[in-house]
Structure 1
Amino acid sequence: MSSILPWVGGFAAVLTSLSYIPQVRKALPRSSTKDLSLKMLVVLTSGLGLWIGYGLLKGDWIIVLANSIGCALTATVLGCKIRDIRGEDSA
């Protein structure tokens, strides 16, 4: 049973990490993040960063890798959201 655990964790990591890709694709065009919450993106990106730290402390590469990908993708969406907010303020 324990030999299947890394595979289950790895598959879960791939699915959850890649789930952010459609949101990134939607957020990349300017003014496309109006329906996204800034607070949610800050909290989610921060939480994923903390999971990276947790994974490093535990020495669990699946946790580190999955959350690094997720954090990079959500940080991209967060960056797009901030870009769009700044664009609204200067308009």
Structure 2
Amino acid sequence: MKDTNEIIGLVAGIFTSSALVPQLVTTIKKKKAQDMSFLLFIIMLTGNALWSYYGFKKDDFPIISTNIFSILPNSTMIILKYRYKNNK
């Protein structure tokens, strides 16, 4: 049963973590990010970091792996928000 729960956790985390990827691709293609909320990505990044910490404390691989992955697209969006801030 633990293996099944871990698989469900990984699949759920993959879907949740990859939800930002389409927005990331659109932002890169259009080179525009002025309508994106900077605060949203700061909050998401903080949440992912805290979830990762929690996962390490609980020794829970699905929580650790999916939230560490989520840090990458959130950080990238923060960088793109700054990089494309004047593009219209």
Q: Which TM-score band (shorter chain)?
A: 0.7 to 0.9
Question: How many residues are paired up?
Answer: 86
Q: Which runs of 5+ in 1 are unaligned?
A: none
Where does residue 21 of structure 2 map in the other structure? 21
Q: Which runs of 5+ in 2 are unaligned?
A: none
Code of the aligned partner of 2:65: L
Code of the aligned partner of 1:37: S
**TM-score when normalising by structure 2:** 0.84
Instruction: Tell me if 1:69 matches 2:85.
Output: no
Distance in structure 2 (CA, Å) of the matches to 1:68 and 1:3: 21
Q: Which runs of 4+ in 1 moved over 4 A?
A: none
The higher radius of gyration belongs to 1
1:29-68 equivalences under 5 Å are 29=29, 31-68=31-68
Distance in structure 1 (CA, Å) of the matches to 2:15 and 2:75: 18
